[in-house]
Amino acid sequence: MKLHPLSALLVLALASGSAWADEDISKVNGRITAQAGQQYGGLSTVNGGITIQDNATTGDAETVNGGISVGNSARTGGLSTVNGQISVGQKGVISGGIETVNGSVFVDRGSQVKGGVETVNGSIGLVGASLDEGIETVNGDITVGVGSHVVGGIEVKKPNFNLSFKPSRKPRIIIGPDAVVEGALVFEREVNLYVHRSAKIGTVTGATAQMFDTDVAPADK
């Protein structure tokens, strides 16, 4: 069958799009957007944010100066930035870890992170999410929110002032209603630790848990 020229061009375009779907995208300056429902390889930029829209599939996403936003039901590799926040929507799958230096991390309901979450100066928040390889921070607050499940424990490390310039403060660690932390909770510095009575946690070293049964943890004293 002989194709009309326009039909032939359409077939060629579709074939090319399929062939390029898994290619990496790399920039020095500028934002990267992974379009909804599309498939990509790795995403990397230096000065710019990365947006991964709903139902997109990507490899690792990395930037230096910029945030990373992952939409609902997206599937990605590991996520990392130096100066920027990372947010993951609902029902996503992150096949690696999540890392920031100066930026917060938030993972929403139904999402699964198959690695760990690590920050230096950024807060970490989970709501109804699961995490396979633990949480680590130096100066960040941690909230393992309602219904979340963390395997691998929690570690708050002693500050290294060659890397962290924030003034000394006690990180606020909250294990919320019906949350589960499998593994040890190890604190190398002073923290305020609040654990809901319905939560389940491993052994605690370096802090004393303050139990609560309200919807919100008490204020720091």
> Domain of 97?
25-212
Q: Is 9 within the bounds of a domain?
A: no
pLDDT of residue 165: 52
Closest C-alpha to 60, from 75, 73, 71: 75
Cβ atoms of residues 89 and 111 within 8 Å: yes
Instruction: Report residue 114 as tokens.
Output: 């198959």
Q: Tens of pLDDT along 154-206?
A: 999 998 765 545 556 899 999 999 999 999 999 999 999 999 999 999 999 99
Q: Is 142 within the bounds of a domain?
A: yes
Helical (H) or strand (E) element with 105: strand 105-107
| DSSP-assigned letters across all residues of 194-214 | EEETT-B---EESS--EEE-S
pLDDT of residue 221: 78
Determine the Cα–Cα distance for residues 151 and 205; give it in Å rounded to an integer.
17
Cβ atoms of residues 118 and 99 within 8 Å: yes
Q: Is 37 within the bounds of a domain?
A: yes
Q: Is 220 within the bounds of a domain?
A: no
Evaluated on CA atoms 143, 107, 87, 42, the torsion sign reads positive
Helices (H) and strands (E) in the chain, counts: 1, 26
pLDDT of residue 160: 76
pLDDT of residue 190: 94
| Secondary structure class of 13 (helix, strand, coil) | helix
Report the number of distinct structural domains present in the chain.
1
**What type of residue is 51?**
T
Q: State which residues of the chain have pLDDT below 70.
A: 1-21, 161-168
Say what the pTM is.
0.86
